[in-house]
Amino acid sequence: MTKARELRAMSPEDLNDRLGQLKRELLELRFAIATGQGTQTAKLGELRREIARVETVRRETALAAEPRERRRGRTTRSARR
């Protein structure tokens, strides 16, 4: 499991590579479980969380690079209440 701090230190290319690796691993694990060969069902959740963590860091990086004026119209969930 990679921590978000470690992911934030990675380049965007490395994050994309890591995301591809994780998705491939998830696919292979799902296939193994479906065919009755896989016994690591807990790893499914771990992989999904890791994928979500990588995607979150990618989104944070994209938002940080976006000009502030373009983000101005967006509201957060708490601001909508």
Residue ranges of the chain with pLDDT lower than 70? 69-81
Residue 56's nearest CA partner among 19, 30, 17, 22 is 19
pLDDT of residue 26: 96
Confirm or reject CATH 1.10.287.310 for domain 4-80, answering yes or no: yes
User: What confidence score (pLDDT) does residue 68 get?
Assistant: 72
pLDDT at 1: 73
Do residues 23 and 51 touch, judged by C-beta distance below 8 A? Answer: yes
pLDDT at 4: 86
Provide the residue type at 7 as one letter.
L
* pLDDT tens digits, 46-62: 999 999 999 999 999 99
Domain chopping of the chain, boundaries: 4-80
pLDDT at 27: 96
- Quote the pTM value: 0.78
